[in-house]
Amino acid sequence: MGFRLEGIFPAALLPLLLTMILFLGPLMQLSMDCPCDLADGLKVVLAPRSWARCLTDMRWLRNQVIAPLTEELVFRACMLPMLAPCTGLGPAVFTCPLFFGVAHFHHIIEQLRFRQSSVGSIFLSAAFQFSYTAVFGAYTAFLFIRTGHLIGPVLCHSFCNYMGFPAVCAALEHPQRRPLLAGYALGVGLFLLLLQPLTDPRLYGSLPLCVLLERTGDSEAPLCS
């Protein structure tokens, strides 16, 4: 289920670093639009009072701690080991996220109940959310298999919940559009370039899910090596 000490430090740091590289453009956008400079921002981030405020905010706890931990535990740590022996690792990586995407359909009920928008726009928004949550779910499933740890997917999930979906339209209209779009492109390019090296299983020790498949006589070499 991804709870082990072997290789835990690279499993915590490298997937998060990889995800932050993918979000290079949005991070640049956030820094450009932030009224405070880097030193002031670091003071706020490192201040104990700021963390104490966050830990007493139920919305922050839900988005940054509870949801990432419980969703990754259910849809990656529990579901992948059950699906993989039946379907193989490759199909399981793309099947698990479908359940993960459907699990977010409760937002449709909330929006319909409170009449937050028209029915058509609500279902269009739900289809879009299903698409990107399914893609994200496939990514964290890939991380879980390649690292053999749950901590990496949980930290990446928490980071992505904080960042939200990249504001590409705002970037296109930004006063510093050219460097910003270059940051978006560079982030995606570096992410694709570093995806395999930073998730190399040799960095993380033995992979429990791959060991399980080997015992059943079925191992997917491309993901396990």
Q: Active-site residues: which are they?
A: 71, 104
Residues 6 or more apart whose Cβ sits within 8 Å of residue 64: 54, 158, 161, 162
In the chain, the largest separation of any two C-alpha atoms, in whole Å, equals: 57
Cα(156)–Cα(139) distance, rounded to whole angstroms?
A: 10
Q: Is 25 exposed, middle or buried (0-12, 13-18, 19+ CB in 10 A)?
A: buried
Q: Is 103 exposed, middle or buried (0-12, 13-18, 19+ CB in 10 A)?
A: middle
